Each structure stands twice: as structure tokens, then as C-alpha cells.
Amino acid sequence: MSGSNLSLLLHLYYCLCCLSFGNAFDTITSSTPINDSQALVSNNGVFRLGFFSLSSSTDHRYVGIWYNNRGVLEESVIWIANRNKPLKDDSGVFMVSDDGNLVVSDGQNQTLWSSNVRNPRGVNVSAQILDTGNLVLKANGNTVWESFWEPLNVFVPMMRLSTNVRTGEKVELTSWKSSSDPSTGSFTSGLQPLAIPENFVWNNTKPYWRSGPWNGHSFTGIPNMNSFVLEGLSLVNDNQGTFYLTLAFFNSSYLSYLYLDPQGISRQRIWDDEKGNWTTYDSPAETECALYGKCGAFGICNSQKPSICSCMKGFKPNNIDEWNSGNWTNGCTRINQLRCHRLNNTDSEPDDNEYGFLKLERIKVPDFAEWSEHLENECKNRCLNNCSCIAYAFDAAIGCMSWSKDLIDIQKFSYGGLDLYIRLPRSELDKKNITVAIIITVVIGTTIIIVVSLIFLLRWMNKDRDRTGRRVYVKFEELAMFEDNGKETKLHQLPLFKFEELATATIDFNPSNKLGQGGFGPVYMGKLLDGKEIAVKRLSSVSGQGFEEFANEVLVISELQHRNLVRLLGCCIEREEKMLVYEYMPNKSLDAFLFDSTKRKLLDWKNRFNIIKGISRGLLYLHQDSRLRIIHSDLKASNILLDEEMNPKISDFGMARIFGGNENQANTGRIVGTYGYMAPEYVLRGHFSEKSDVFSYGVLLLEIISGRRNTSFYNNEHFFNLLGYAWKLWIEDNILALADTELVSKQCCHQEILRCIHVGLLCVQEHANYRPSMSMVISMLNSEIIDLLSPTQPAFTAALHEESLPNNKWSINDVTITNIEGR
Ligand SMILES: *[C@@H]1O[C@H](CO)[C@@H](O)[C@H](O)[C@H]1NC(C)=O
Ligand SMILES: *[C@@H]1O[C@H](CO)[C@@H](O)[C@H](O)[C@H]1NC(C)=O
Ligand SMILES: *[C@@H]1O[C@H](CO)[C@@H](O)[C@H](O)[C@H]1NC(C)=O
Ligand SMILES: *[C@@H]1O[C@H](CO)[C@@H](O)[C@H](O)[C@H]1NC(C)=O
Ligand SMILES: *[C@@H]1O[C@H](CO)[C@@H](O)[C@H](O)[C@H]1NC(C)=O
Ligand SMILES: *[C@@H]1O[C@H](CO)[C@@H](O)[C@H](O)[C@H]1NC(C)=O
Ligand SMILES: *[C@@H]1O[C@H](CO)[C@@H](O)[C@H](O)[C@H]1NC(C)=O
Ligand SMILES: *[C@@H]1O[C@H](CO)[C@@H](O)[C@H](O)[C@H]1NC(C)=O
Ligand SMILES: *[C@@H]1O[C@H](CO)[C@@H](O)[C@H](O)[C@H]1NC(C)=O
């Protein structure tokens, strides 16, 4: 206790010294080294750099960085310079040496650690501890070294774990030797630049754990990832050969980090203000099943089973005695060889009927996936037609994965994961399925009979009631259609409205009650007998179209609850009528405000930013947080409704897609959407994903800021849409001109507006992979991610005159960014 008080005093003294010399106390230079009793503190006071000992070995002195006044050093230290060469006494110095390096040297002038960079002598060198906990060495203003480049075992927000596939350079975490000894342990954690990047932990050089492929917002092999981490984690391909993993929390005052413990397990610690201590969270990687290759090749690990390892169907243990004694490392082998393998001719065309795929659900897919940009059906056929392909998996966000080597490190989850399809000879596939097939046939047969008789019964009842002029019943064949889709639905819990009830509420669908025209029919305002206001969407009965959309909307939205999604109150299926009943939104839709020259004035920046953020939260919920993963597919201004407080609610789920499982979900033969909002990959190839929603969101965002429709540039000779216009302004470094003059004249929030436009441009980039995920978008809007990448040219701006662009556009952009972000 007295020790720490003393050092505090000394620190204070030191600070005063520094001040008197005109130096910041977060920086050291060649003339201001620090000794054992001195320290640096970052500007925000969160991190401290200095000398310390751990409670277990007080005679070992280290130079490092830790969270200032946050629990014991064992838990708060994030970086150590001389982890392998501790000082033996308090004679150490941390300084900028003559050769321009940061060094730790002892009383005998022996260098124990050096940053080891080559600096020209005599340049102006200084090292500063930043608010992120990063120690940055600068020579003449250029960064030459960072402590984030040589991390300890701790991964803090804003740090980047990276791998450069061209140079092989890596930034990795390295575990401590033991919980009391910070010297280099045997475990490292970093990114493995596979076809689809993954996070790996290695024991020395052997893989010890892997995360499973990254799907754009999480690792598919970690089903129960902490949502805090999930929100902030992103894996970025900078397209210069570097992949990196980085973490950013919505609220930067939230103290939390991930670390690799001495046993090779990644864990998370969160600072608990109330307890005044760190809370350590259990890791998903802790089960025995998480160990790399626990069950060997073609073995599946399931921690729910008494004997965790089993061979896949069609496989048997390589060594039955070893296997039964619980040594599974040798794995499994095929019972019947695949024929094309027997022939040794890996490229021969196999007989289509000879093979099939066995579907394994909720799987951590094996290591060594190969990747291709195929749609689900092509993915399957491509695998089927190539003898060396032994398994495939498809994920809408990742694409097509296939395997041609031994399948290793497969885990079965009780939720999450991906579906893996294993190639097996028909004979294997059919073996046990005969009885199952019989059962299925019987069940289907019976169901059909029951459904058909029900339909006849109900038809007959309907007729009866119709003639007697009494109440008309719902036709249940439509309901049956929902259910044989195989999708679960809460339809039965969804209130059914009577036709008369809705007709009365809307005064017989009076044109004066019409609110607007949705994609598949008009929407009316109505008032129920109890006074409750509703909006009724009536599917046009004439076209006969739209039932699919209706069913889809009911399926999707009855599952969802979020304050930025419109709420479905019920539906009505009667006679030829299909109607959806929603909560009523008094301020109608966003387009009615945004594109109306007088009403637009009512939308100040606060409103617009609130709308932008609300839409992003609604979308994030659809993409990632709801039980289903949903792509909206038709996001546009007229589908954003506004409640009495101008809070946005996303509506119209007629074209939304539920992801996961079902085929054809990442591809559609029928391109439906709204011109100007559809992403290029969707228009051109029918391919959609979360990133195509992000594109529409970006268009919407730019529309909200500019108050102009994307498509309002028809006759302009220079750019044929808003995106082209925005890009031109961006290149000319005049992007604020995009914003509605109403907003700009207020002078209030130019930084925020610029940031929003920047985010918008990132969302409308041509290449889907460059576009940020919605969680990234939210972090960027909230300024949790400070350094935004430069956007590349948006899609659909080809009409832009290239020759009018300045040549050095990138450097201009970089300048713009730093200007925007400098706070
Ligand atoms: C560290 O430097 C300060 C100021 O130069 C000095 O007062 C103090 O005695 C030094 N401490 C050690 C342990 O050398
Ligand atoms: C260490 O080096 C400094 C300057 O280079 C010198 O003044 C000092 O005497 C040296 N100390 C020892 C113990 O060699
Ligand atoms: C050295 O760099 C610092 C900040 O980078 C600057 O304030 C200082 O003026 C520079 N000194 C010289 C001699 O260039
Ligand atoms: C890590 O690898 C070493 C050999 O390189 C081995 O002795 C040790 O048991 C391994 N640790 C674990 C936890 O598997
Ligand atoms: C961020 O977290 C701090 C402390 O946990 C809290 O006081 C603050 O209100 C939070 N800020 C926001 C914007 O949520
Ligand atoms: C904080 O937790 C660590 C271990 O997790 C414990 O050693 C320490 O005593 C705790 N500190 C306080 C103030 O509770
Ligand atoms: C398991 O089997 C492998 C290969 O047969 C052998 O090398 C290893 O020592 C065995 N492990 C144990 C724990 O028996
Ligand atoms: C099949 O390949 C193996 C090694 O790849 C080889 O030893 C064997 O002779 C080949 N068999 C035939 C029938 O070509
Ligand atoms: C079959 O798959 C292997 C491994 O993925 C690949 O190398 C080979 O080119 C493929 N053959 C054909 C005909 O596509």
C-alpha cells in the first residue's frame, strides 16, 4: 500500500518536472528517460507505462503497460517489454537510446530489451503511450515501431492481430509460461490465412484450437461467442495481402480484453466497476472437444455424448482397440472406398447416381476448406462431379466451401455451426434409411389424405355458410401451405382478423383511407371498434400474384420483435382476400418527408441521424441478433415508417429471406427489388446476402443526408445517380456539398454529417466484401471505430467521366479522412 502511495507521489513529482520542462507526461524522448520510480500515463488516464513486479516474484522487475489502478497486475498488464529478461533490481532505465531505439537497460548499461528498428542517428525520436494502450515510437513524426506490433498475451480494442500472406509477417499473441511467469510460453494465437481466414491457437507449431471460418460477423466454430465481443469483432482483408482481426466496443469506456491463458485457451476479462475487479469469462474453447483434431480424421466430437468421439456414417475406427480405449487421434477410415478413389483416377467423371450427400447439422466444419464463389446448387454439383471432393458446405455469407483432404477437427454443436454435406456411396446412404423412408411415406401419405379431406370439408362448410349469409370461415389450405414449407411458424398464435372487421375499420377500403401503395397491394388506414388505429395491407386479388410474398411476410415478421421493425398485429385470409394488419404509424413513411420540399425542412440533423441509427439497429437485428438470420432485400425510403416521435421502423418483409438450411436462399431466379437500391451482385447475378442489404442501406443513408432520390439525376450529363454525384464530390474533396442545404446551414454537426456520408460511401462500394457489416456500420456511426477506410468507387457510377478525376485521388482522400477524424 505505502509503496503504491510512494510511487504515486513520485509520479506526481515527475509530472511536475515534465511540465516544467515543457514535456507531456505520456511521452519519452532521448532526453527524458524514465527510471524505476517513474511512469508515463496515457492522456485519458486509462493506461500506465512503468516498472513493476508481480506478486509472486518481487525480485523480478519488468517494464510494461497496464490498466492504471485496475486490480492486480497479473490481470491488468497488457504488454511487457523485457518479458524474458527481467531486471534484478531497481536500477533499470527505459529510454530512447543513441541508436534511436526504445531500450530497457540495467544498472550495468546492459541492454535487456530493444525495439530493434533501424533509425537514422540524430533524428527526432520520441515514444508516446496512447489512449488505446499502444506505445508508439516515432522518428521525425513517422511511426517506426508500436507495442501493438509485438503484443503479449492480451488483445485489447483497436489492436490488430494480423497476417500478411505475401511477406509472412504476423502479429500474434503469445501466452505466459505460467500464471505467475510472463516469459514466453508455448501457445500463440493469430490468424491463419486459409482460403477463408480463421483464428488459430498453436502449441509451439502444432494447431491446438481453431475458430472455424469467419462468416463476416462471427466465427462459425464458436456458437456461443460473447455478444459483447461479437458486436465489436471484425476480420478485415485489406486487399494488400494483410488479414487482421480487430476489436472495438460501442462504448469505448467499457474496459474489456481477450487474452490467451498459459493453457492455450482464449478468455475474456471485463472490468466490473461495482466489484472493483476484473471478471474473467469462461471460454467456449474450454471443452475437450475444442482441442484441434481431438477425434482424428473423419471423427466427430460431440461434448454432449458420454463418449465424445464417434466416426462419421460410412466410416470405422482406424484402430479399434485404441479407439475403444479413448485414444481417438488415429481417427476413422472408410468402410467402403469411394469408387473413383479405388480407380486412382481422381478426375474421372463419377456416375451421378452412385453418390449422394449425408447432411450433418450444426457442425464446426473441418480444417482446410477450399473456397469458391458458387451458389448453393452449383456448390453441390461441383462437388458431386469432382471425385476428389469429399464434402461441401454452403453459407450464404461465406459462399461455397469444399474439402478434398481428410476431414479433421469436426465438432457437433447443440446450436449454431454450419451444415456439412459428406459424399457417400448410395449404398451407405440408403442402408438405414429404408425404414425411415417407409415411415416418411406413411406419414406424408396420411398427411395428404387428412389435409385433402379437411379442405373438402371446409370448402363445403364455407359454401354452406355463404349461402346462409352467415360468417365466412378461413380457408385452411393456405395455412397448410405454410406448414409443409417445413418452416416453424407461430402462425397459430397470430390473431386472425375477420374480413368484415377490417372492412368496417377501413370504411370498406375507402380510397380516402388509403395510405399508399405497397409492392403487392394498397395499404389502408383503419380504426378498430375499440378505437385502436391500424394499417391494413390488402394484397391485390386480381393479379393472383403476391401470395408467396404474403406467406413470406407472415412467416418472417411474426417471428420478430424489435423497436425498429414494424409490428404485425395479425392477418386475414378469407375468400380471395389476404390482408396483413400492422400497427399504425402516424407519420407515414420516410419518403413522404424526405422527398417533399416543405416537409423535408422538418427533418433536422438530429432527426435524420436518429433515423439513420434506428434503421441500422433494425437491420443489425435482422442480420444477426434475431433467432433467424434475415435479409430484408427491399430496403428503401418508402419502407421506413415513422412513429409519432419520428423513430424509424422497417416494414415490408414480402421479399425478405430467411437464411440457413434451405436451398436457393442465396440466389434467386426472380430479381425483385427496387431500382436504385439493389446491389450490383443482386441485379447482375441474383446473388444476395447481408451485404446487399448494406448496399441498400448505404443508398438510403445518402438519400437521407442529401434529401434527394438516388434516381433523381436522370437528365444529368455528368452522373446518372446520387452515388455518382456523391463520388464526384468525394474525389473533389467537397463531400459536404452532398448534404441537404438545410443541414449544412445550421453549422452544427458537420463532423457527424461527414462521418455519415463516409459510412454511406463504404456501404455502396461495388465489391460486396468491401462493404462493412451492420455491426461495423453501427460502430462507425457511434465513432467507436475512428479510422475509416477510404471507400472505393461505388457501384453504378460508370457514367462518371474518369478523365476529369485528379490522378492522385487517394492521397487527397487520405487527407480528407484525417481531417474528418481529427478530434
Ligand atoms: C529516478 O529519477 C528521479 C528524478 O530524476 C530521481 O529523483 C529518483 O531518485 C530516481 N530513482 C531511481 C530509483 O533512480
Ligand atoms: C553507463 O553509460 C553512461 C553513459 O553512456 C555512463 O555515464 C555510465 O558511467 C555507464 N555506467 C556504467 C555502470 O557503465
Ligand atoms: C521533435 O518532435 C516533436 C513532436 O514530434 C516536436 O514537438 C519537436 O519540436 C521536435 N523537435 C525537433 C528538434 O525537431
Ligand atoms: C504442447 O506441446 C508440447 C510439446 O511441444 C507438449 O509437451 C505439451 O503437452 C503440449 N501442451 C498441451 C496442453 O497439449
Ligand atoms: C459508456 O460506459 C460508461 C461506463 O460504463 C457509462 O457511464 C456511459 O454512460 C456509457 N456511454 C454510453 C454512450 O453508453
Ligand atoms: C481481484 O481478483 C483477483 C483474482 O481474480 C484477486 O486475486 C484479487 O484479490 C481481487 N481483488 C479485489 C480487490 O477483490
Ligand atoms: C494414441 O495413439 C497414437 C498413435 O497410435 C500414439 O502415438 C499415442 O501415444 C497414443 N496416445 C496415448 C495417450 O495413448
Ligand atoms: C494408385 O496410387 C497409388 C499411390 O498413389 C499407387 O501406389 C498405386 O499403384 C495406384 N494404383 C493404380 C491401380 O494405379
Ligand atoms: C477437383 O477438385 C480438386 C481439389 O479441389 C481440384 O484440384 C481439381 O482441379 C478439381 N477437378 C476438376 C475437374 O474440377
Q: State mean pLDDT over 630-647.
A: 88
167 backbone φψ class: left, alpha, beta (φ>0; ψ -120 to 50): alpha
The Cα–Cα gap between 585 and 27 comes to 56
Q: Whose CA is nearest to atom 14 of ligand 7?
A: 327
On whether both 230 and 346 belong to a single domain, the answer is no
Q: Extract the C-alpha cell encoding 612.
A: 439513420
Domain end residue (candidates: 415, 431, 447) = 431
Band of residue 716 on the pLDDT scale cut at 50, 70, 90: low
Q: Check pocket membership of 109 for ligand 2, CB cut-off 6 A.
A: yes
DSSP-derived 3-state class of residue 533: strand
Q: Which residues pair with 402 in a beta bridge?
A: 370, 392
pLDDT for the residue 680: 78
Residue 323 amino acid letter: W
Higher pLDDT, 409 or 476: 409
On whether both 43 and 85 belong to a single domain, the answer is yes
Residue whose C-alpha cell reads 437464411 in the numeric block: 659
The Cα–Cα gap between 176 and 73 comes to 14
Distance 337 CA to ligand 8 centre (A): 14
On whether both 159 and 141 belong to a single domain, the answer is no
Residue 452 lies inside a defined structural domain of this protein: no
From 404, 406, 407, 423, the mutation candidate for ligand 9 (largest count of ligand atoms within 8 A of CB) is: 404
Atom of ligand 9 nearest to the CA of 402: 5
Residue 486 lies inside a defined structural domain of this protein: no
Ligand closest to the CA atom of residue 75: 6
Atom of ligand 4 nearest to the CA of 263: 13
Q: Whose CA is nearest to atom 8 of ligand 1?
A: 37
8 Å CB contact between 518 and 619:
no
Distance 255 CA to ligand 6 centre (A): 16
Band of residue 808 on the pLDDT scale cut at 50, 70, 90: very low
On whether both 233 and 334 belong to a single domain, the answer is no
Q: Extract the C-alpha cell encoding 252.
A: 469505448
From 206, 318, 329, the mutation candidate for ligand 7 (largest count of ligand atoms within 8 A of CB) is: 329
Q: Mean pLDDT over all residues of the chain? A: 79
Atom of ligand 1 nearest to the CA of 17: 4
Distance 194 CA to ligand 7 centre (A): 28
Distance 124 CA to ligand 3 centre (A): 6
pLDDT single digits (tens) 157-210: 999 999 998 898 999 999 999 999 999 999 999 998 888 889 999 999 999 999
On whether both 219 and 359 belong to a single domain, the answer is no
Q: Whose CA is nearest to atom 6 of ligand 9?
A: 388
Q: Which residues line ligand 4 (CB under 6 A)?
A: 186, 203-204, 264
The Cα–Cα gap between 116 and 104 comes to 12
8 Å CB contact between 482 and 489:
yes
Q: 483 burial class (0-12, 13-18, 19+ CB within 10 angstroms)?
A: middle
Angstrom distances, CA of residue 557 to CA of 78, 370, 564, 568, 574: 45, 36, 12, 7, 20
Q: Check pocket membership of 745 for ligand 5, CB cut-off 6 A.
A: no
Higher pLDDT, 587 or 409: 409
Domain CATH number, residue 705 = 1.10.510.10
Residue whose C-alpha cell reads 474473467 in the numeric block: 280
The Cα–Cα gap between 25 and 99 comes to 23
Dihedral, 571, 520, 577, 501 alpha carbons, nearest 10: 50
Q: Residue 59 phi/psi, 5° resolution?
A: -85, -5
On whether both 56 and 123 belong to a single domain, the answer is yes
Residue 170 lies inside a defined structural domain of this protein: yes
Would the pLDDT of 233 be above 70?
yes
Q: Whose CA is nearest to atom 8 of ligand 6?
A: 72
Q: 741 burial class (0-12, 13-18, 19+ CB within 10 angstroms)?
A: exposed
Q: Check pocket membership of 253 for ligand 5, CB cut-off 6 A.
A: yes
Higher pLDDT, 113 or 769: 113
pLDDT for the residue 823: 26
Q: Whose CA is nearest to atom 10 of ligand 3?
A: 124
On whether both 719 and 677 belong to a single domain, the answer is yes
The reported pTM is: 0.59
pLDDT for the residue 448: 61
Count: domains in the chain = 4
791: which DSSP letter?
P
From 253, 274, 782, the mutation candidate for ligand 5 (largest count of ligand atoms within 8 A of CB) is: 253
SS (H, E, C) 545-607: CCHHHHHHHHHHHCCCCCCCECCEEEEEEECCEEEEEEECCCCCEHHHHHCCCCHHHHCCHHH
On whether both 228 and 108 belong to a single domain, the answer is no
DSSP-derived 3-state class of residue 365: coil
The Cα–Cα gap between 297 and 259 comes to 30
Higher pLDDT, 643 or 797: 643
8 Å CB contact between 50 and 75:
no
Residue 299 amino acid letter: G
Residue 44 amino acid letter: N
8 Å CB contact between 346 and 388:
yes
Q: 24 burial class (0-12, 13-18, 19+ CB within 10 angstroms)?
A: middle
Going across the sheet that includes 568-574, the strands are 514-518, 521-527, 533-538, 577-583, 568-574
CA 228: distance to chain centroid?
12
Catalytic residue among 36, 634, 652, 693: 634
Supply the DSSP string of 398-452, one letter for each residue. Answer: TEEEEE-S----EEE-SSSSEEEEEEEEHHHHHHTHHHHHHHHHHHHHHHHHHHH
pLDDT for the residue 699: 94
pLDDT single digits (tens) 270-297: 888 888 999 888 776 678 899 999 999 9
On whether both 325 and 397 belong to a single domain, the answer is yes
Percent with pLDDT over 70 in the chain = 77
Atom of ligand 9 nearest to the CA of 370: 5
Q: State mean pLDDT over 475-495.
A: 45
Residue 822 amino acid letter: G
Atom of ligand 4 nearest to the CA of 204: 5
pLDDT for the residue 478: 39
DSSP-derived 3-state class of residue 513: helix
Residue 487 lies inside a defined structural domain of this protein: no
Q: State mean pLDDT over 343-360.
A: 67
Q: Whose CA is nearest to atom 8 of ligand 2?
A: 109
Q: State mean pLDDT over 756-775.
A: 90
8 Å CB contact between 386 and 443:
no
pLDDT for the residue 18: 39
Distance 432 CA to ligand 5 centre (A): 57
Higher pLDDT, 759 or 478: 759
Domain end residue (candidates: 118, 147, 176) = 147
Q: Return the exposure string of 108-121: e unless at least 16 CB atoms fall within 10 Å of the residue's CB, then b.
A: eeeebbbbeeebee
Q: Give the residue numbers spanning the domain of 128.
A: 3-69+79-147
Q: Whose CA is nearest to atom 6 of ligand 2?
A: 109
Would the pLDDT of 796 be above 60?
yes
Going across the sheet that includes 125-129, the strands are 27-29, 125-129, 135-139, 142-146
Q: Which residues line ligand 1 (CB under 6 A)?
A: 35-38, 90
From 194, 345, 346, 347, the mutation candidate for ligand 9 (largest count of ligand atoms within 8 A of CB) is: 347
pLDDT for the residue 459: 45
pLDDT single digits (tens) 570-600: 888 876 778 888 888 888 889 888 888 888 8
8 Å CB contact between 767 and 790:
no
On whether both 282 and 299 belong to a single domain, the answer is no
Q: Whose CA is nearest to atom 8 of ligand 4?
A: 203
Atom of ligand 1 nearest to the CA of 35: 1
- Whether 351 is a known active-site residue: answer no
Would the pLDDT of 670 be above 60?
no
On whether both 268 and 399 belong to a single domain, the answer is no
pLDDT for the residue 47: 95
Domain CATH number, residue 138 = 2.90.10.10
The Cα–Cα gap between 195 and 206 comes to 19
Atom of ligand 2 nearest to the CA of 108: 13
Angstrom distances, CA of residue 138 to CA of 128, 189, 408: 8, 28, 45
Would the pLDDT of 268 be above 50?
yes
Domain end residue (candidates: 114, 147, 180) = 147
Residue 491 lies inside a defined structural domain of this protein: no
On whether both 118 and 168 belong to a single domain, the answer is no
Q: Return the exposure string of 632-669: e unless at least 16 CB atoms fall within 10 Å of the residue's CB, then b.
A: bbbbbbbbbbbbeebbbbbbbbbbbbbbeeeeebbbbe
Q: Check pocket membership of 347 for ligand 9, CB cut-off 6 A.
A: yes
DSSP-derived 3-state class of residue 460: helix
